[in-house]
Chains A and B, each alone.
Chain A
Amino acid sequence: MWRAELISQFRRRRVKALLLVLAAVPALLAVLVYLSGGPSNGQGPTFLDEVTRNGVFAALAGLTVTVPFFLPLTVAVVAGDSIAGEASLGTLRYLLVRPAGRSRLLLIKAVTIGAYCLAAALAVAAGGLIAGVILFPVGRVTTLSATTLSLGAGIGRTLLAALVVGASLFGMAAIGLFISTLTDVPVGAMAATVGLAVLSAVLGGVSQVQAIHPWLFTRGWFAFGDLLRDPVQWTAISHDLALQVAYMAVFGAAAWARFTTKDVLA
């Protein structure tokens, strides 16, 4: 059942399309930079000015561009759809007929969403890497600390950054899963999840509510930049990952409480 759900989820046309579009974003960025010659130092999104010198940066620029909105949006679509989608199609009943039980079904859904988060971020990195390698020279990767990494280490850091970005979306995914158990209208669950992410990001920019800033799940979305320092600064990344675990615990438990007690009519 685990494998079946994972495979069926990633075979879905919608999920495939989302991953493809995510991979296309950095590729498109790379093509635009290739055609225009690219921004000069210090302009445009972070890392974009490096792309003409080193194609690897197309992946990092892609992550920087998609992290604030596009990547979370697709996670909200997948997470919001997870339970509410089955309910609205009337397939939830049939899933629950199986002896697996509701708790197990919810866990499988949660793991699938988590896998999607990682796959989505890796798709962005992969799209950027492929386009960057085709269009631009590649070589040693300059860190934010002015040191250089070998190409292999640089690509390794880039993929690690993608995994960190994927994992930093887990908290939002848990919220989306919880909201998805509350309703039979998948679009509503998706919109509510995106709305909460926007609210969290807005609160993160308001200095009057500084006290809650460390607790916002959008707070650490750019922490992956610390992987591009030399030495890597782990404090912000580990704080962010711990926060995501906290969100998963609270909203995962809430989703479980709701889903195992709700009346499945459709």
Chain B
Amino acid sequence: MASSARSRKLRWSAPFAAAVVIALIVAIPGLSAADSPSLPALSAQQLVAKVQQAKPVDLSGTIDMSTNLGIPNLSALTDAAGGGGHGRAAFSPTDLLTGSHKAAVWLAGPDKTRVALLLDMAETDVVHNGNNVWTWDSGTKKVVHYTIAAGTKAAAGTKPAQATTDPAEPVKTPQQLADEFLANLTPSTAVSMGVPISIAGQKAYQLVLAPHTAASTVDHVVIAVDSVTSVPLQVQVFAKGQKKAALSLGFSSVHYSTPAASRFAFTPPPGSTVTNKTLGGSHAQSADAGAPKANAPQANAPQDNANQPATVGQDWTTVAIINGVQIPRQLNDFLKAATPVSGSFGQGRLLESSLVNVLVMDDGRVAVGAVSASALEAAVAAAP
């Protein structure tokens, strides 16, 4: 009986053995991925030049986005704000302020882009093909068709996704984000090289940008650039005093081949409602107004001129001030919980996160910037 008792006990090791094997299967690829790939050394200048010279590459891939701003999930709040039950959109831009998201992207040449934000049982698509930009929300079945006026074609061609409005605004390829940061390279920034990294199976150089100014909430920005194609594969923004990236946007898979042309053809499906809009023309200026300012909110969405933000400061300390903002009633309770502040600018409430601070003033002005709270107040006080 003794041997039988031992074999009984031995059998119970089977589930634990299975668990250990699974843990190993999961852990081993992670360990090898953590190894830094070997790449010939490159200076920061060489890398930036390499990126600037790189030809646009056709690709398809999936992107993982994660946001860690140290603020609670706002989706319940936006549901309340959008309430009334007029059909729920699959996506609201505030969703991107918390948690992680996935997107699929397809790029072919300068004027064909498709970005699909993959949500739970829903999807938001932005398709740019030549002079046409389509946005689609599977929740409301709403299609918006933008026609780009001839004069703005070139500007829209270089930054396709920027020609779109709010549903797509936060969705950018790493290429677009990195371009914005690289355009901003000035003496305000310390540029250095990080350790090479492997992303989506590609060997990549890492460029580290750190602002000199203490007023910025940004500690450093890391951009991973494919060593072969020079495509930016990952952008991470680290806030001061935070170990985890406050913003992270990177490819989880990438294939360098031209996607099928049908991927960029959009036909409004049956049952959808289509709204037609024209981009450019009378709004020609707005198409490229906000492009190079990484920290400023995008000013290129067609909107009333009264709400056009004014910017104060430059580079890392840029603060956008928007006039005449109507705060939805549902947000009042939320604002009351924010820190009250006062100064020569008047009175207001301060909403803080690890990366972006927002000052909502009682006179209807709203200031937004990736700067410390005191720098934000100073910028508002100095604003005309």
A interface vs B, CB < 8 Å? 40-43, 46-47, 49-50, 53, 64, 139-140, 142, 144-148, 207, 222, 225-226, 229, 233, 235, 246, 249-254, 256-257, 260-261
Please state if A250 and B19 are interface contacts (CB–CB under 8 Å). Answer: yes
In the bound complex, residues from chain A placing their C-beta under 8 Å from that of B12 are: 254, 257, 261
How far, in Å, is B199 (CB) from chain A's closest CB?
Answer: 16
**Known interface pairs A42-B141, A250-B22. Does A146 touch B89 (Cβ–Cβ under 8 Å)?**
no
| Bound CA–CA A148/B136 (angstroms) | 14
**Known interface pairs A146-B266, A226-B118. Does A254 touch B15 (Cβ–Cβ under 8 Å)?**
yes
Please state if B8 and A261 are interface contacts (CB–CB under 8 Å). Answer: yes
B99 within 8 A of partner (CB) = yes
In the bound complex, residues from chain A placing their C-beta under 8 Å from that of B18 are: 249-250, 252-253
The 6 closest A-B pairs by CB, nearest first: A42-B87, A254-B15, A225-B121, A253-B14, A253-B15, A257-B11
| Bound CA–CA A147/B268 (angstroms) | 8
Please state if B22 and A53 are interface contacts (CB–CB under 8 Å). Answer: no
Option from A144, A146, A225, A256 in Cβ contact (under 8 Å) with B272: A146
- Told that A40-B87, A42-B90 touch, could you supply 11 new A-B pairs with CB distance under 8 A? A42-B87, A139-B270, A145-B116, A145-B138, A146-B138, A146-B272, A225-B122, A229-B118, A235-B252, A252-B18, A253-B14
In the bound complex, residues from chain A placing their C-beta under 8 Å from that of B73 are: 207
B interface vs A, CB < 8 Å? 8, 11-15, 17-19, 21-22, 62, 73, 85, 87-90, 98-99, 102, 104, 116, 118, 120-123, 125, 136, 138-143, 252-253, 266-273
Please state if B14 and A257 are interface contacts (CB–CB under 8 Å). Answer: yes
Option from B8, B87, B266 in Cβ contact (under 8 Å) with A41: B87
In the bound complex, residues from chain B placing their C-beta under 8 Å from that of A251 are: 15
| Bound CA–CA A260/B10 (angstroms) | 12
7 residue pairs of the A-B complex, CB under 8 angstroms, read: A40-B87, A144-B123, A144-B138, A148-B267, A229-B123, A233-B62, A261-B11
Please state if A144 and B99 are interface contacts (CB–CB under 8 Å). Answer: no
Please state if B120 and A225 are interface contacts (CB–CB under 8 Å). Answer: yes
Please state if A256 and B14 are interface contacts (CB–CB under 8 Å). Answer: yes
Please state if B62 and A235 are interface contacts (CB–CB under 8 Å). Answer: yes
List the B residue with the shortest CB-CB distance to A148: B269
How far, in Å, is B105 (CB) from chain A's closest CB?
Answer: 12
In the bound complex, residues from chain B placing their C-beta under 8 Å from that of A53 are: 270-271
| Bound CA–CA A49/B139 (angstroms) | 10
In the bound complex, residues from chain A placing their C-beta under 8 Å from that of B118 are: 226, 229, 233
| Bound CA–CA A107/B267 (angstroms) | 50
Please state if A142 and B271 are interface contacts (CB–CB under 8 Å). Answer: yes
In the bound complex, residues from chain B placing their C-beta under 8 Å from that of A47 are: 121
| Bound CA–CA A148/B8 (angstroms) | 57
In the bound complex, residues from chain B placing their C-beta under 8 Å from that of A249 are: 18, 21-22
List the B residue with the shortest CB-CB distance to A207: B73
Option from A140, A142, A146, A233 in Cβ contact (under 8 Å) with B125: A146
| Bound CA–CA A254/B12 (angstroms) | 7
How far, in Å, is A128 (CB) from chain B's closest CB?
Answer: 16
In the bound complex, residues from chain A placing their C-beta under 8 Å from that of B87 are: 40-43
In the bound complex, residues from chain B placing their C-beta under 8 Å from that of A250 are: 15, 18-19, 22
Please state if B141 and A147 are interface contacts (CB–CB under 8 Å). Answer: no
Please state if A260 and B11 are interface contacts (CB–CB under 8 Å). Answer: yes
In the bound complex, residues from chain B placing their C-beta under 8 Å from that of A226 are: 118
| Bound CA–CA A40/B89 (angstroms) | 12
Please state if B122 and A146 are interface contacts (CB–CB under 8 Å). Answer: no
| Bound CA–CA A206/B195 (angstroms) | 35
List the A residue with the shortest CB-CB distance to B60: A231
How far, in Å, is A201 (CB) from chain B's closest CB?
Answer: 14
In the bound complex, residues from chain B placing their C-beta under 8 Å from that of A41 are: 87, 139-142, 271, 273
In the bound complex, residues from chain A placing their C-beta under 8 Å from that of B98 are: 207
| Bound CA–CA A249/B20 (angstroms) | 11
How far, in Å, is A192 (CB) from chain B's closest CB?
Answer: 17
How far, in Å, is B94 (CB) from chain A's closest CB?
Answer: 15
| Bound CA–CA A50/B141 (angstroms) | 10
Please state if B17 and A233 are interface contacts (CB–CB under 8 Å). Answer: no
Please state if B140 and A146 are interface contacts (CB–CB under 8 Å). Answer: no
| Bound CA–CA A246/B25 (angstroms) | 10
Most chain A C-beta atoms within 10 Å of own C-beta, residue among B18, B88, B138: B138
How far, in Å, is A48 (CB) from chain B's closest CB?
Answer: 12
| Bound CA–CA A228/B196 (angstroms) | 37
Most chain B C-beta atoms within 10 Å of own C-beta, residue among A40, A147, A207, A226: A147
| Bound CA–CA A140/B267 (angstroms) | 13
